[in-house]
């Protein structure tokens, strides 16, 4: 009985990363895989299932994720769930609808906003190093601008902020996490005020790094155990710093202190687990990690966005499943800038998401793996084409210095 209670019949069209496939319905000859009883951790497997002749399947909620709209199990204790709605004290009214802006139209505005944001955060960190108290009210106008850009087209600012240099990482990481938090908040149907609060928490979550010695923070090599221990003090340092400032809410303080906690209790600084971690801090954990692993750092090159999303989906116990599912929904399985291989063998870069189908973005085709030659750049909306994404393509296997310019154009480096 316990086993049956965890099984759920869903449409194959509703399958997504993180779900555990118990079995398909229908004739076995139509089944897309020779096996069942596994977690979907590869986007191409989800795509293969949805392209098959099978229309329904059974998933096991005890071993994987539920559909996006449901409350999902959390490892905090038996029978408890983590809602994908707003935390206590925040309205769960949907965010105000905003007319979507095409990526190409938003990129120039986003590039200018990145420049202004970089200057503002650099000044904020410098003042913190000099012992000046932070006034959160002064950050509100910047957070508002970032929120408006994300509402118009999240792919523009979020993807441009990912292109930070290793030297700019500490400052632009704060801007990127701000934008990611706003986007995730909208995906979780938080209202506009809650999304701005999430954005402010993202902007200020790493303020403690202003008090970490630069030679440790910017070290180009792997940190020693002692150096890593110093870096791990930044949540408490940031909390103390923000607590002395003006107009800093409990939500912002909480995200600053707890964005490195993990659902399984293996995080830091307080080893909180399950429902001990607030929704905003769970959101901060996902956004912080995604930007960190997709960005160039002093000691490593960033991972491809789609590869990062797939890897994060396999990290059991790290993130809240419901929050991570909403994060995937907000950016796409193949986020803007991802390198992918199509079923034809052509390589393409993702330039725009399709909210109705996470596996069918708009891409720019530019290379043939069969001929091993460049192709004339062609824009393809996969919802209007027989082409499909076959797999993520490892960037390290290719030397494509022009790849970011394919989706971002002149906004790269501007």
**Domain ranges, residue 345:** 339-411
- 182 and 323 belong to one structural domain: yes
Terminal C-alpha separation, the chain: 60
Q: What is the pLDDT of residues 161-216, one digit of tens each?
A: 999 887 788 899 999 999 999 999 999 999 999 999 999 999 999 999 999 999 99
Asked if the structure places residue 295 within a domain, the reply is yes
Each residue's pLDDT tens digit, 121-174: 999 999 999 999 898 888 999 999 999 999 999 999 999 999 988 778 889 999
CA dist 137 and 146 (Å) reads 15
- Do 242 and 136 have their domain in common? yes
* Same domain? 347 vs 279: no
- Phi and psi at 377, nearest 5°, equal -65, 130
| Per-residue pLDDT band at 72 (split at 50, 70, 90) | very low
Share of the chain above pLDDT 70, in %: 91
In tens, the pLDDT along 299-325 reads 788 899 999 999 999 999 999 999 999
Q: Is residue 319 part of a domain?
A: yes
Give the pLDDT of residue 229.
Answer: 96
Does the pLDDT of residue 94 top 80, yes or no? no
**Angle at 204 (CA atoms; ends 199, 210), nearest 5 degrees:** 155
User: Which tens digit of pLDDT belongs to each residue from 320-359?
Assistant: 999 999 999 999 999 999 999 999 999 999 999 988 888 8
Position 302 in a domain: yes
19 belongs to a structural domain: yes
Asked if 187 and 298 sit in the same domain, the reply is yes
Is residue 325 located within the same domain as residue 354?
no
Q: What is the DSSP letter of 186?
A: H
Q: Confirm whether 87 is domain-assigned.
A: no
DSSP state of 9: E
Residue 322 lies in a domain: yes
Choosing from 11, 44, 67, the residue where a domain stops is 67
pLDDT score of 54: 85
């Amino acid at each position: 009985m316990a086993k049956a209670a965890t099984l759920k019949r869903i449409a194959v069209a509703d399958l997504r990363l993180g779900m555990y496939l118990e079995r398909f319905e229908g004739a076995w000859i139509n089944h897309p895989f020779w096996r069942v009883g596994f977690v979907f951790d590869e986007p191409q497997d989800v795509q293969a299932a949805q392209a098959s002749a099978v229309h329904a399947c059974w998933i096991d909620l005890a071993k994987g994720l539920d559909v996006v709209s449901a409350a999902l199990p959390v490892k905090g204790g038996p029978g408890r769930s983590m809602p994908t709605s707003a935390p206590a004290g925040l309205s769960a009214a949907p965010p105000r609808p905003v007319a979507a802006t095409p990526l190409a139209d938003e990129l120039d505005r986003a590039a200018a906003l990145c420049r202004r944001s970089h200057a503002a955060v650099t000044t904020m960190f410098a003042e913190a190093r000099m012992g000046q108290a932070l006034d959160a009210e002064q950050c509100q106008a910047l957070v508002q601008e970032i929120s408006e850009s994300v509402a118009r087209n999240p792919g523009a600012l979020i993807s441009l902020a990912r292109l930070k240099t290793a030297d700019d990482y500490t400052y632009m990481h704060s801007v990127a996490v701000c934008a990611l938090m706003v986007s995730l908040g909208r995906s979780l149907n938080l209202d506009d005020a809650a999304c701005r609060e999430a954005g402010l928490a993202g902007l200020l979550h790493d303020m403690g790094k202003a008090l970490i010695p630069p030679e440790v923070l910017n070290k180009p090599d792997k940190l020693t155990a002692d150096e890593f221990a110093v870096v791990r003090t930044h949540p408490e340092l940031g909390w103390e710093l923000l607590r002395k400032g003006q107009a800093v809410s409990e939500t912002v303080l909480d995200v600053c202190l707890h964005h490195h906690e993990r659902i399984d209790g293996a995080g830091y600084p307080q080893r909180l687990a399950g429902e001990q971690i607030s929704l905003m801090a769970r959101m901060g954990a996902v956004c912080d990690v995604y930007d960190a692993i997709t960005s160039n750092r002093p000691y490593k090159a960033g991972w491809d966005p789609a590869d990062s999303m797939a890897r994060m989906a396999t990290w059991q116990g790290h993130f809240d499943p419901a929050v991570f599912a909403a994060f995937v929904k907000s950016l796409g399985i193949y986020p803007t800038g991802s390198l992918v291989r199509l079923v034809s063998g052509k390589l393409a870069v993702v330039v725009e998401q399709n909210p109705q189908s996470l596996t069918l973005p708009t891409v720019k085709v530019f290379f043939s793996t069969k001929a091993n030659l460049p192709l004339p750049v062609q824009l393809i909306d996969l919802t209007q084409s027989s082409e499909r994404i076959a797999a993520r393509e490892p960037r390290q296997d290719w030397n494509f210095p022009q790849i970011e310019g394919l989706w971002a154009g002149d906004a790269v480096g501007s």
